[in-house]
Chains A and B, each alone.
Chain A
Amino acid sequence: MKPEKLIVDGRRLDGRGPNDLRKIKIEAGVLHRADGSCYLEWGGNKVFAAVYGPREAVPRHTQNPLRAIVKARYNMAAFSVEDRKRPGPDRRSVEISKVISEALERVILTEQFPRASVDVCIEVLDAEAGTRCAGLTAAAVALVDAGIPMRDIPVACAAGKIDGQVVVDLGKEEDNYGQADLPIAIAPRTGEVLLMQMDGHLTVEEFNKAFDMAVESCGKVSEIQKKAILQRYHAVDEVIE
């Protein structure tokens, strides 16, 4: 059921202003078997990411003699959504896996690992709008945790339009009943755009505004990523003492 208004007195349904992000919590190095891992909570989203590799790419014919391939797999748990989702990949998750793989490939120094594969697993356990941004952000931290050499630590955030106003990081109702959604991922050092998708309806001015706001929010998320990574090594420090 559509709420009458998504913005009341300048406040969104969950009390946020247009530039406010939902609460984000990131923890690196949470899985024992993976080479690198990350657990991320972003509003109601809960996501695990694990990285394996660089390891020999299989099947053989997928190997590139000049560089590593990057295989990200975005998967939603059957119980992560309101009505149970059938387990396994569907067209949506295959597409998301592809755009995330391509975004990550841009920053990973793949030329250092010919014939290898860097495998990234993204598991969404609880979904509430913005899972691809949450997944990519978690994957980036897991890549760092795995020690994969990268040009930058990619980060993602969405902007969108609700009730005619441009806001960042759409929540569940805003995503369902809003007018546009623009998820982007950037390399924060250079501002290069690694992933961008849009659905809905934006004027060129609105797009420019949404884009700038999303980039600004990516900067905030990037800080949380870096903190999580530092925290990981801080914890190791304490064990030595």
Chain B
Amino acid sequence: MTVIPLLKKEYVTKLGEEGKRVDGRAFDEFRQITIETNCVNKAEGSALVKIGNTQVIVGIKMDLGEPFPDTPDCGVLSTAAELIPLASPDFEAGPPQRDAIELARVVDRGVRESEVVDIHKLVITPGEKVWIVFIDIHILDYDGNLFDAASLGALAALLTTKMPILRMMESGALVKKDLEAWYNRTHIEEIREIYSHPDIDEIVAKKKKGTVKNIRLPMTEPPISCTAVKISNFVFFDPSLDEDELADARLTVATDANGDIRAMQKGLAGSFSKEEIQNVIQGALENGRKIREQLFTKIGK
């Protein structure tokens, strides 16, 4: 460690002993969160999430394609993150680095393992044609705690995603027969409404958007991620940039509405004791509850 981070660490530790943080927050307190949805027209779903000065935009694109051979009856989820040089003087252009890949994989796990997107309902013909959901995370401004901003952005974007059914029909990738097969598998009423619409051929030919109902992604209850870092025996939630950079260890915990744990990731070279982990889980539950409430108010659920 060079001298400046050492001095900063000493300062953070000294404040920690007095029960304080550099920006005046309580140890388990998040910065202000704002969520804005539908901010990219070209995307099927999108969200801009700010946690303090950190800004992350997530866009969802969908396409049709073949499933993976080992899961013929599941749709495909694909998550990618880019730490673009716009967001920080320390990010460099080029292929995704380890940090970007860890970030994308943690978000991916939060979405995939919690089954928040019902991928079984994204199958049109098993083994042949399924929906592919691309989650692309774009970091705009890096001021700490990318994990929570990216996860929350991904959820908000997925929850507001409208499936591009008419566009796929216009290009011929999706035909009425497919919709029928899809309805028979999923019993999503809106699908039947589309293929049995009397003017569907004309709607497709003339690109009349807004004449049939949008279909949202089939989603279940989303778990909310909360991250804490440990700096010389103090545990701080929602690390700011300095706290992120000084952190000895990091722990992300995703919790659901029942108060159960749905995903975890410990990062960096430091370690946690069992008590500290329990403390982080407790804080993740409390903050998760507040963030879930804010997310649902925003998307009108």
Interface residues of A (CB under 8 A from B): 1, 31-35, 44, 46, 48-50, 52, 55, 73, 75, 77-84, 87-89, 119, 121, 123, 125-128
Instruction: Say how far B148's CB is from chain A's closest CB, in angstroms.
Output: 17
B37-83 interface with A by 8 A CB criterion: 39-44, 46, 53, 55, 57, 59-61, 63, 80, 82
Secondary structure at chain B's binding surface: helix, strand, loop or mixed? loop
| Residues in chain A near residue B88, CB distance under 8 A | 33
Selected from A33, A73, A75, the residue in CB contact (under 8 A) with B143 is: A33
Q: Could you tell me if B85 and A73 are in contact, using CB atoms closer than 8 angstroms?
A: yes
Given contacts A33-B143, A77-B59, A79-B46, contact A84 B40 (CB under 8 A): no
Secondary structure at chain A's binding surface: helix, strand, loop or mixed? loop
Given contacts A50-B86, A73-B93, A79-B61, contact A123 B40 (CB under 8 A): no
The CA of A88 and the CA of B142, in the complex, are separated in Å by 19
The CA of A84 and the CA of B80, in the complex, are separated in Å by 12
The CA of A54 and the CA of B57, in the complex, are separated in Å by 27
Q: Could you tell me if A31 and B140 are in contact, using CB atoms closer than 8 angstroms?
A: yes
Interface residues of B (CB under 8 A from A): 39-44, 46, 53, 55, 57, 59-61, 63, 80, 82, 84-89, 93, 95, 134, 136, 138, 140-143, 167, 207
The CA of A75 and the CA of B80, in the complex, are separated in Å by 15
The CA of A126 and the CA of B43, in the complex, are separated in Å by 8
| Residues in chain B near residue A32, CB distance under 8 A | 53, 55, 141, 143
Selected from A44, A87, A121, A126, the residue in CB contact (under 8 A) with B85 is: A121
Q: List 22 A-B contacts (CB under 8 A).
A: A31-B86, A31-B87, A32-B53, A46-B40, A48-B140, A49-B86, A50-B87, A75-B84, A77-B59, A77-B136, A78-B80, A79-B44, A79-B136, A84-B61, A87-B80, A121-B84, A123-B86, A123-B140, A125-B39, A125-B138, A126-B42, A126-B43
Which single residue of chain B is at the shortest CB-CB distance from A82? B42
Selected from A44, A48, A79, the residue in CB contact (under 8 A) with B59 is: A79
Selected from B85, B86, B95, B167, the residue in CB contact (under 8 A) with A82 is: B167
The CA of A1 and the CA of B172, in the complex, are separated in Å by 13
Instruction: Say how far A176's CB is from chain B's closest CB, in angstroms.
Output: 14
Instruction: Say how far B131's CB is from chain A's closest CB, in angstroms.
Output: 13
Q: Could you tell me if A78 and B136 are in contact, using CB atoms closer than 8 angstroms?
A: yes
| Residues in chain B near residue A88, CB distance under 8 A | 95
The CA of A125 and the CA of B88, in the complex, are separated in Å by 18
Instruction: Say how far B30's CB is from chain A's closest CB, in angstroms.
Output: 17
Q: Could you tell me if A87 and B86 are in contact, using CB atoms closer than 8 angstroms?
A: no
The CA of A34 and the CA of B142, in the complex, are separated in Å by 9
Q: Could you tell me if B41 and A126 are in contact, using CB atoms closer than 8 angstroms?
A: yes
Instruction: Say how far B80's CB is from chain A's closest CB, in angstroms.
Output: 6
Instruction: Say how far B248's CB is from chain A's closest CB, in angstroms.
Output: 23
Q: Could you tell me if B134 and A79 are in contact, using CB atoms closer than 8 angstroms?
A: yes
| Residues in chain B near residue A80, CB distance under 8 A | 40, 42-43, 59
The CA of A79 and the CA of B55, in the complex, are separated in Å by 17
| Residues in chain B near residue A83, CB distance under 8 A | 61, 63
Instruction: Say how far A235's CB is from chain B's closest CB, in angstroms.
Output: 16
| Residues in chain B near residue A73, CB distance under 8 A | 85, 93
The CA of A131 and the CA of B41, in the complex, are separated in Å by 15
Instruction: Say how far B156's CB is from chain A's closest CB, in angstroms.
Output: 14
Instruction: Say how far A76's CB is from chain B's closest CB, in angstroms.
Output: 10
Q: Could you tell me if A125 and B57 are in contact, using CB atoms closer than 8 angstroms?
A: yes
| Residues in chain B near residue A79, CB distance under 8 A | 40, 42-44, 46, 59-61, 134, 136
Instruction: Say how far A18's CB is from chain B's closest CB, in angstroms.
Output: 25
| Residues in chain B near residue A78, CB distance under 8 A | 59, 61, 80, 134, 136
| Residues in chain B near residue A48, CB distance under 8 A | 86, 140
Q: Could you tell me if A119 and B85 are in contact, using CB atoms closer than 8 angstroms?
A: yes
| Residues in chain B near residue A1, CB distance under 8 A | 207
The CA of A37 and the CA of B28, in the complex, are separated in Å by 32
Q: Could you tell me if A125 and B87 are in contact, using CB atoms closer than 8 angstroms?
A: no
Q: Could you tell me if A123 and B141 are in contact, using CB atoms closer than 8 angstroms?
A: no
| Residues in chain A near residue B39, CB distance under 8 A | 46, 125
Q: Could you tell me if A126 and B40 are in contact, using CB atoms closer than 8 angstroms?
A: yes
The CA of A55 and the CA of B46, in the complex, are separated in Å by 34
The CA of A44 and the CA of B43, in the complex, are separated in Å by 12
Which single residue of chain A is at the shortest CB-CB distance from B95? A88
Instruction: Say how far A190's CB is from chain B's closest CB, in angstroms.
Output: 30
Instruction: Say how far A225's CB is from chain B's closest CB, in angstroms.
Output: 19
Instruction: Say how far B145's CB is from chain A's closest CB, in angstroms.
Output: 13
Instruction: Say how far A62's CB is from chain B's closest CB, in angstroms.
Output: 13
The CA of A79 and the CA of B288, in the complex, are separated in Å by 28
Instruction: Say how far B99's CB is from chain A's closest CB, in angstroms.
Output: 15
Which single residue of chain B is at the shortest CB-CB distance from A34? B86
| Residues in chain A near residue B85, CB distance under 8 A | 50, 52, 73, 119, 121
The CA of A123 and the CA of B89, in the complex, are separated in Å by 15
